[in-house]
Structure 1
Amino acid sequence: MTTLGGSGVAVSRLAFGGAAIGNLFTEVSDEQAHEAVTAAWERGIRYFDTAPHYGLGLSERRLGEALARYPRAEYTVSTKVGRRLEPTEVAGDDLANGFAVPAAHHRVWDFSADGVRRTLEASLERLGLDRVDVVYLHDPDDHAEDVFREGYPALEKLRSEGVVGAIGAGMNQAEMLTRFVRETDVDVVLCAGRYTLLDRSALDELLPAAVEWGVSVVVGGAFNSGLLADPRPGATYNYAHAPTELLDRALRMKEVADRHGIGLRAAALAYCAAHPAVASVLVGARSAAEVHDCADQFATQVPDAFWQELRETGLLEEQA
């Protein structure tokens, strides 16, 4: 376990990402979702991340139900604000947004102070909790003015009131997260897909700034949505078909991993975890089997010779 910034909120080094149990791309049964959370607990995972966006609240409901059997003081939960859920009369599904659920609600971008509080209150109700430990501003890419003027100060106020223990922002980019680190008093940032074996853009400014300012980083998207988990023709990179040059690079990395007797997934997770700014690596899973595989890969010792060969072959920069 490690703590987030100066907050005192503790997280396990490997974390459970809740998007998949919100029916990301495909349906998952309640039983499968609960089995995945149970497997995470059995493997020592004590940090669980979710969001209203994930399955229009389904992920939060399932996570809350599955965690209800465990002592509240023994686990950490994070959720997100910025997308407020409103009921809708429109029939259909939410697959256009990536989730195989009925479109009983629609999302409203809302980083206002009132919106932040209302969104968090609704999340607590779905989770069945009286508090969450961490709240992230979720994907404020196109809402910088609103989030820095109202959204972030609202979270700072909630933290000062003791409603939440740690605050931050979660995004699929490094640039604005770096601004949060330098210009606000966040405890943690969640950076998805920008610090991996294939995309090391967070290494330029975000991670050094986090070390300098004492802000923790949670890394998500270690497999870049699939390519680093199973590099093959047709694999996805950032939720789209992987470009040929990146597929070739991933396949070359897999060949090196095979020579050193490890899986590429193990190397991808180890790379994310190794930076001193990184407090936890967040991995999504939709089944107990996926959880156990991730835990096994995370526990694998990656030999120094593997990293050295990556550097010698130009697949990894010297400073990485």
Structure 2
Amino acid sequence: MSGYPIHTIERVMRETDVDVVLTYAKARLLDGSLADRIIPVATEEGVGVINAAAVAVGVLTPGGTAFGNDHPASPDIINSALAMRTLAAEQGADVSFTANQYSMWRGASTTVIGASKIKNLCSAIRACGEPLESELEAAFLALRPSPADRKWKSGLAENKLRIRGRQPGYSDE
């Protein structure tokens, strides 16, 4: 299963015999819910976790996303990403490398990396072997949007599951 809201992923891991879940944009500098919520349940239930979108579908790259205004992130997420890109530049760091470091050290069995250039792929591979420095990590995390604003909507409202009385369009929490 993949791409579902956190509460749906947690429920499926607890209530079904799923072997692995694929989630995206939940282990990134902008949102740490993979480590905070998904990994503990996966560990308890013996479920493998595949992570994706460490660079938040491009917003955590030096040039920003190719999606422009069509990116699913909220203005708060975009603004936080811009602040993180600025911080990286000020610190002489590569925001994509830093985003990959953060993401790959959050407990998922696998992290899927998308790269349009060999140099970006090589950078992501290097990030696997170098944990993020704690001071730099803290500086980035201080720029996160508020917890209520860390998620973005994805999928069509009519495809959302109704869970515990929630209506289509509910938060990704």
Structure 2 residue aligned with 1:217, among 49, 55, 60? 49
Cα distance in 1 for partners of 2:81, 2:19 equals 33
Percent identity of equivalent pairs: 25
Describe the shift of the 1:174–1:242 C-alpha distance in structure 2 as closer, same or farther (beyond 3 A): closer
Q: How far apart are the structure 2 equivalents of 1:210 and 1:175?
A: 13
**Unaligned runs of at least 5 residues, structure 2:** 147-173
Output the aligned Cα RMSD: 3.1
**Aligned mates of 1:310, 1:255 — CA distance in 2:** 10
Structure 1 residues 172 and 293, CA gap change in structure 2 (3 angstroms) = farther
Give the deviation of 1:307 after TM superposition: 1.6
The counterpart of 1:187, out of the listed 16, 19, 23, is 19
Q: CA deviation at 1:239?
A: 5.8
Change (3 A) 1:292 1:202: closer
Query: What amino acid sits opposite 2:60 in the alignment?
Result: L
After TM superposition, give the deviation of residue 291 of structure 1 in Å.
2.3
Partner of 1:108: none
Deviations, residues 163-192 of structure 1 (Å, cap 9, x unaligned): xxxxxx222532322222111222321101
| C-alpha distance in structure 2 between counterparts of 1:238 and 1:206, whole Å | 29
1:137-286 aligned at under 5 Å gives the runs: 169-203=1-35, 205-230=37-62, 232=64, 235-236=66-67, 240=71, 243-276=74-107, 278-286=108-116
Name the CA distance, whole Å, in 2 between partners of 1:253 and 1:207: 25
The residue identity in structure 2 corresponding to 1:283 is I
Per-residue CA deviation, residues 176-213 of structure 1 (Å, 9 max, x unaligned), is 22222111222321101233222344455323211222
Could you tell me which amino acid in structure 2 is paired with residue 228 of structure 1?
L
The alignment's TM-score, normalised by the length of structure 2, stands at 0.66
Structure 1 portions without partners, runs of 5+: 1-168
Q: Which amino acid aligns with 1:284?
A: G
Paired residue for 1:122? none
User: Partner of 1:218: helix, strand, or coil?
Assistant: strand
Q: Which has the larger radius of gyration?
A: 1
Are the counterparts in 2 of residues 210 and 217 from structure 1 also a CA contact under 8 Å?
yes
Query: What is the letter of the counterpart of residue 112 of structure 2?
Result: L
Given the superposition, is the C-alpha separation of residues 230 and 271 from structure 1 closer, same or farther in structure 2, using an over 3 Å criterion?
A: same
Task: Specify the code of the residue in structure 1 equivalent to 2:30.
Answer: L
* Cα distance in 2 between the residues matched to 1:315 and 1:176: 24
Q: CA separation in 2, counterparts of 1:172 and 1:192?
A: 9
**1:248-279 deviation per Cα after TM superposition (whole angstroms, max 9, x unaligned):** 21122123333444211122112222223x11
Mapped contact 1:195–1:203 kept (Cα < 8 A): yes
Partners of 1:291 and 1:260 lie apart in 2 by: 22
1:235/1:241 CA distance change after superposition, 3 Å: farther
Q: 1:285, 1:185 → 2: CA distance?
A: 33
SS of structure 2 residue aligned to 1:197: coil
Q: What secondary structure is seen at the aligned counterpart in 2 of 1:190?
A: strand
1:14-25 pair list within 5 angstroms: none
* Cα distance between partner residues in 2 of 1:238 and 1:201: 25
